[in-house]
């Protein structure tokens, strides 16, 4: 029998192989390794990029990915009327991406966002599970460390992808329009988008907002530590004095840090990743230069929509309705997380959507599956 390799397959089959790749990095590696596959890719570039871009995401969140794809086409300087039209057309989102071949100007931004979201999911996992382990030590819980730190399940990853997609969509609704009522208008547009979601969906976005704020506090504190350790004429201090009416590290300067963080959040995940991956003086330049404007539109919109969530959560558990990883089976990602159900059953107070609070959101109660939560010891608490 003749032996077949990927190189000897027909172009049609090679294209089918490439369309099932689920990361841009894997596609690039394959194309670099095979000149023949690169030639096949060139003749089907738009179609294959479209498939790979959407393959990055859980199949149950494609509607949110489509919404984000459209939002990414809104320029930062877009008039508020365009944002208004975008929200009005959300019900017209087309989920059948397999029938589409999008131009590079549309699909490449989605590829980049998908890669950025994957980066943030890994960072979120490290950050939140570390806090969950610390909760276990503080409360003297019996924890299974190996299971607690295991790879994300498909459902956990899907929940996080959905939340990051929706957060990024909120950010894209923040325009740079000027005027006295600009902040109010930004808030109204973000709130209108959030009103298309359920209350627990809004809480997922709030969890992402809290995590990002926690990371930014770390950035701000590291900058302050460096400024204090250096002499009063340090470059970082000079940057702060130039950009702000008060010393950026003084008591008066710090009063505005929270609103500066909100503005930085509104610039989107790509910008936030640049902040977190940079260091030293470069990081200070990026942060302080973007701390000339204040806003609270994202948190205000989340808070207002969180107020609508005063309803009872009721879930009938069925021992046979869990998969091998302890995730609830039914409608996939449409099921409430066990962390949320546990918090509701135990009457744990939660200010849905409101400004970052210490507690449940710190350790990601909206995202983790039952197997991981059981390993954390939290579900055993009465």
Kindly list the averaged pLDDT for each block of 10 residues, start to end, along the chain of length 382: 74 89 88 90 90 91 90 78 77 60 87 95 94 84 88 92 94 61 60 80 89 89 75 58 57 71 88 90 80 72 59 41 46 68 67 58 87 85 68
Tokens of 356: 């970052």
Helix, strand or coil, per DSSP, at residue 344:
helix
Q: Residue 35 contacts by C-beta under 8 Å, 6 or more apart in sequence? A: none
Contact 321, 328 (CB under 8 A): yes
Q: What is the pTM of this model?
A: 0.85
H-state helical runs in the chain: 11-19, 24-33, 35-43, 45-55, 62-71, 80-88, 104-138, 145-148, 154-172, 182-194, 199-229, 235-243, 251-254, 257-266, 269-277, 280-289, 297-306, 338-345, 370-376
Write the burial class of residue 22 (CB in 10 Å: 0-12 exposed, 13-18 middle, 19+ buried): middle
- Give CA–CA dist 344/353, Å, rounded: 15
Q: What is the DSSP letter of 195?
A: T
């Amino acid at each position: 029998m003749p032996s077949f390799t990927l190189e000897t397959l027909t172009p049609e089959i090679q294209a089918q192989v490439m369309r099932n790749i689920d990361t841009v990095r894997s596609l690039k590696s394959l194309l670099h390794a095979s000149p023949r596959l690169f030639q096949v890719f060139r003749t089907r570039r738009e179609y294959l990029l479209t498939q790979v871009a959407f393959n990055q995401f859980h199949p149950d969140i494609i509607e949110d990915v489509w919404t984000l794809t459209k939002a990414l086409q809104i320029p930062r300087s877009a008039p508020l009327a365009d944002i208004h039209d975008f929200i009005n057309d959300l019900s017209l989102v087309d989920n059948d991406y397999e029938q589409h071949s999008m131009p590079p100007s549309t699909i490449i931004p989605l590829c980049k966002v998908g890669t950025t979201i994957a980066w943030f999911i890994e960072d979120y996992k490290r950050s939140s599970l570390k806090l969950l382990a610390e909760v276990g030590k503080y409360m003297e819980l019996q924890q299974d460390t190996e299971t607690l730190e295991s790879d994300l399940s498909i459902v956990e990853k899907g929940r996080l992808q959905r939340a990051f997609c929706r957060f990024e969509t909120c950010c894209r609704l923040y325009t740079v329009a000027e005027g006295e009522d600009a902040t109010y208008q930004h808030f109204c547009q973000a709130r209108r988008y959030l009103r298309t979601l359920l209350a627990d969906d809004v809480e997922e976005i709030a969890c992402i907002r809290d995590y990002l704020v926690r990371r930014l506090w770390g950035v701000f504190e590291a900058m302050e530590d460096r400024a204090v350790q250096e002499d009063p004429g340090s470059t970082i201090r000079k940057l702060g004095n130039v950009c702000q009416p008060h010393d950026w590290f003084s008591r008066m300067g710090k009063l505005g840090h929270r609103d500066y963080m909100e503005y930085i959040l509104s610039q989107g995940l790509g910008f936030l990743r640049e902040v977190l991956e940079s260091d030293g003086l470069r990081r200070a330049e990026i942060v302080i230069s973007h701390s000339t404007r204040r806003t609270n539109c994202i948190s205000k919109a989340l808070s207002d929509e969180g107020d609508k969530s005063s309803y009872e959560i009721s879930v009938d558990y069925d021992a046979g309705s869990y998969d091998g990883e302890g995730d609830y089976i039914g409608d996939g990602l449409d099921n409430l997380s066990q962390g949320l159900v546990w918090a509701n059953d135990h009457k744990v107070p939660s200010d849905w959507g409101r400004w970052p609070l210490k507690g449940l959101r710190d350790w990601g109660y909206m995202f983790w599956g039952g197997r991981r939560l059981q390993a954390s010891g939290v579900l055993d608490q009465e």
